[in-house]
Amino acid sequence: MKKILFAASESVPFIKTGGLADVVGSLPKELDPAFYDVRVILPKYSCMKQAVKDRMQFVTSFYMDFNWKNEYVGLLTAKEGNVTFYFIDNEYYFSGDKVYTDSPVWEIERYAYFSKAVLSALPVLDFRPDLIHCHDWQTGLIPVYLKERFASNPFFGGIKTVMTIHNLKFQGVWDVKTVAGITGLSASYFTPDKLEFHRDADLLKGGLVYADAITTVSPTYAEEIKTPFYGEGLDGLMNARANSLRGILNGIDYDTFNPSGDRYITHPYDAISFRKEKVKNKRDLQQQLGLEEDDKVMMIGMVSRLTDQKGFDLISYVMDELCQDAVQIVVLGTGEERYENMFRHFDWKYNSRVSANICYSEELSHRIYASSDVFLMPSLFEPCGLSQLMALRYGTIPVVRETGGLKDTVEPYNEFQGTGTGFSFTNYNAHEMLRTIRYAERVFYDRKREWNKMIDRAMAADFSWKRSAEKYQEMYDWLIG
């Protein structure tokens, strides 16, 4: 039995701010329990729901040396299905009403504490992992500490590490003097071949240098991050470690995202009944959001953080033009103020055709996936992306830019061969995006039979965790032997 410990800053169903939580919550339960004992360790945040905290049982507590003082480490546990979760408890570091704060130096201190506490907790748990799977910069110090102060302890000998990059843009960077003081790492660790990054200290870089293997969340993104445009300053390191780097697509939970059993939608449907039932969800959503009730109009859905990374500068540039077309636009999300206000403006200007929902609602997101005809996702970069996978699952045709995981998961429509599951464009250009949307409109309005066949193919695509889990298992077997 191979023992794997996932270390991350968030995971469903305990705490979630983004796609990372979905991955950390879904992947462990898909790994074959006959061969892998997989457990997960997270911080215990004060802002977790009370119902979640009530499930936790106290295991033990101890003190560890951190940032020039003795720090308390509480250890709790809870079961979720067949997976054991552990929680590192420290009110000083994990209190507050939000998971993440706006202070970079405080974030670095909190997650340096978490990384050290994870390793310090292992000897008191009845669990010695063969491999620790670290996720994003918040756990970047685990591979570093493992090769530094924990290396002399025989208990830790032979433990392998994997570092997964969910988004290379976020790295945990601050000045060397401060980070050296917090982490206790000696000056020899802050050199260009280790944690030093443009004269600062970079926690993610430390993890990428010291981990035994590196993964990211799609094959195309694994290639893109070796280039200066996508590499966020680490493209040299990504090329140097190319033999240890692999891209494994994320999946989605096919039980949670299932149009035939989704508790949030009013008219469940499947690959056979969508022709009759899907439109009923559109009708209900039009009524709920005060849009003009019209079965035949093409509805474009967007569920996203409203940021530059997601391509909203392109949308904003052609939004007025797009609103002249025979379409309805439904947006759900929060983010940069200019994009929030842009959508509010168009909701006011084209009230019966544009609905701006500047908030987050799990229920409304499911309804948008189930009701829309098209899902628009023109990202500047997209390591994997989960929204287009959900759209395919619900038979909502994605229009995407060919980058990262979007390129790997959406097959462009080919009218001559009768293939494809969506529409895509190559260059980061607003009018190229608009032309692609208008091509989708033509197929939707003029070639309904072709459109329905595309929905058939989209709903038949398999992006469940099962396929991805097999690739992770291959990697674990290669590392552990």
Checking if the pLDDT of 256 tops 90, the result is no
425-464 pLDDT tens trace:
999 999 999 999 999 999 999 999 999 999 999 999 999 9
pLDDT at 17: 86
Domain 2-251+466-480: give its CATH code. 3.40.50.2000
The answer to whether the beta carbons of residues 405 and 218 sit under 8 Å apart is yes
Which CATH architecture is the domain 274-462 placed in?
A: 3-Layer(aba) Sandwich (3.40)
% the chain with pLDDT above 70: 100
**Tokens 């140097």 belong to residue:** 240
- Measured CA to CA in angstroms, residue 84 lies from 5, 38, 164, 212 at distances of 10, 8, 21, 24
Contacts of 217 (CB under 8 A, 6+ apart): 23, 164, 165, 166, 247, 248, 249, 250, 383, 384, 405
Contacts of 177-181 with C-beta under 8 Å, sequence gap 24+, read 178/105, 178/108, 179/108, 179/112, 179/203, 181/67, 181/68
Question: Does 2-251+466-480 match 274-462 in CATH topology?
Answer: yes
CA distance 22 to 254: 12
18-70 pLDDT tens trace:
889 989 999 999 999 999 999 999 999 999 999 999 999 999 999 999 999 99
**Average pLDDT value for residue range 162-185:** 96
pLDDT at 187: 95
pLDDT at 19: 84
**Tokens 């690739």 belong to residue:** 471
pTM equals 0.92
Strands of 298-303's sheet in order across = 354-357, 327-332, 298-303, 374-377, 397-401, 423-425
CA distance 197 to 249: 28
The answer to whether the beta carbons of residues 286 and 280 sit under 8 Å apart is no
The answer to whether the beta carbons of residues 436 and 398 sit under 8 Å apart is no
Where exactly are the structural domains of the chain?
A: 2-251+466-480, 274-462
The residue count of the chain comes to 481
Checking if the pLDDT of 397 tops 90, the result is yes
